Amino acid sequence: MRVPGYLTMDTMPTDSDHTAPLASPTGHKLKQVYLSLGSNLGNRVANTQKAIEDLDRVGIKVRRVSSFYKTEPVDFNPQAWFLNCVVEAATGLMPLQLLKAVKSVERAVGRRPGVSKGPRAIDIDILLYENVVVRSSALTIPHARMSERRFVLIPLRELAPGARHPVNSRTVTDMLHDSRDLSQVVRFKLEG
């Protein structure tokens, strides 16, 4: 996948340094986050690419983007298949500020209130925020069902196979290996 200005699995140099300390222009340490993006309404590719581009505008600097995947819907059928990916990003935002920022991107891309788990122009979930655990009525980090969903774990494994779930201490690779999710997740080849 080619998204201008971002490293992707298809364009990433093999020896690139993704472990360099993250710092804002003011010198404050930025937090590393992983976000899952999904779309199954309208032009799924354009919606997802616009969301990735808009993240920077709200204080979320995208560092890497996984491949895109065509994924079978879970929890609510029938509906169109999703296009999913995961981004690795850096931000100075605190968790609730990050949630507010991703919700503003969702609205900008065209997400509207609808059926829970139903069709949407874009959905952005916070998977991981460093090793922070957040449990509130507004936000749960790590994402509550992250370890059960192949459409999250497969693209996340591309970017961070050894990342550990901060509650159960299992790696992304281990969670994927043990997942009971049988939904289809197929790499999506972008044209151009």
Domains parsed from the chain with CATH numbers: 24-188 (3.30.70.560)
Rounded distance between C-alpha atoms, residue 33 and residue 45, angstroms: 22
Catalytic residue (one of 44, 111, 149, 150):
111
Position 112 confidence tier, pLDDT thresholds 50, 70, 90: confident
pLDDT at 71: 92
Which amino acid makes up residue 188? F
95-104 tens-digit pLDDT: 999 999 999 9
Catalytic residue (one of 44, 63, 64, 120):
120
Is-catalytic flag, 64? no
Least confident of 62-76, 114-128, 161-175: 114-128
What mean pLDDT do residues 128-145 have? 94
Within 13 Å of residue 54, how many CA atoms lie on the same side as its CB? 19
Is-catalytic flag, 120? yes
Q: Mean of the per-residue pLDDT values for the chain?
A: 86
Is-catalytic flag, 107? no
Local structure of 41: helix, strand or coil = coil
pTM metric for this prediction: 0.85
What are 141's two structure tokens?
A: 């980090």
Catalytic residue (one of 123, 149, 150, 157):
123
Catalytic residue (one of 54, 63, 125, 157):
125
Position 164 confidence tier, pLDDT thresholds 50, 70, 90: very high
Is-catalytic flag, 10? no
**Distance, first Cα to last Cα, the chain:** 9
Give the closest residue to 139 by CA, choosing from 85, 86, 103: 103
Within 13 Å of residue 140, how many CA atoms lie on the same side as its CB? 7
Rounded distance between C-alpha atoms, residue 114 and residue 136, angstroms: 23
CA of residue 5 relative to chain centroid, distance: 17
pLDDT at 19: 44
